[in-house]
Amino acid sequence: MSEKHPENFIVVGMTLDGKKFRPSDWAERLCGIMSAFGADHRMSYSPYVRPGLHLGEKCVYVAARLYEVEPLAYNFLAGFAKDNELQVINTGRPDAMADD
């Protein structure tokens, strides 16, 4: 039986039926809950969750490594996309070439 491995994925700010997701700063807000204050007393995004653009649409990039560090956070982000019917692009496992 094959074990399911976490994958890198992109949450795109478009619903499955093609509507733009609101509010317009959703990606920054979502990444903000995964951010932390650094030694410089400045807030910074997690290295595993960051906002960006994908084909001109706001998105959130989620690294599979987050699952190893904090599986609940990884599952929360996947659940957020599903609950809001957002488009998700699986970009594969970071180690897929090594064992496939």
**Which residues lie closer than 8 Å to 42 by C-beta, 6 or more apart?**
none
Rounded to whole angstroms, what are the CA distances from 35 to 19, 30, 68, 81, 82? 27, 9, 17, 19, 22
Would you state the torsion angle of the CA atoms of residues 41, 30, 76, 53, taken in this order, to the nearest 10 degrees?
-110
pLDDT for res 6: 87
Each residue of 26-83: pLDDT tens digit? 999 999 999 988 888 888 999 999 999 999 999 999 999 999 999 999 999 999 999 9
pLDDT at 98 over 50: no
Q: Nearest to residue 7, comparing CAs of 98, 95, 97, 80?
A: 95
98 vs 27 pLDDT, higher one: 27
Residue 95: band (very low, low, confident or very high) from pLDDT cuts 50, 70, 90: low
Name all domains of the chain by residue range, CATH numbers in brackets: 8-94 (3.30.70.2340)
pTM for this one? 0.84
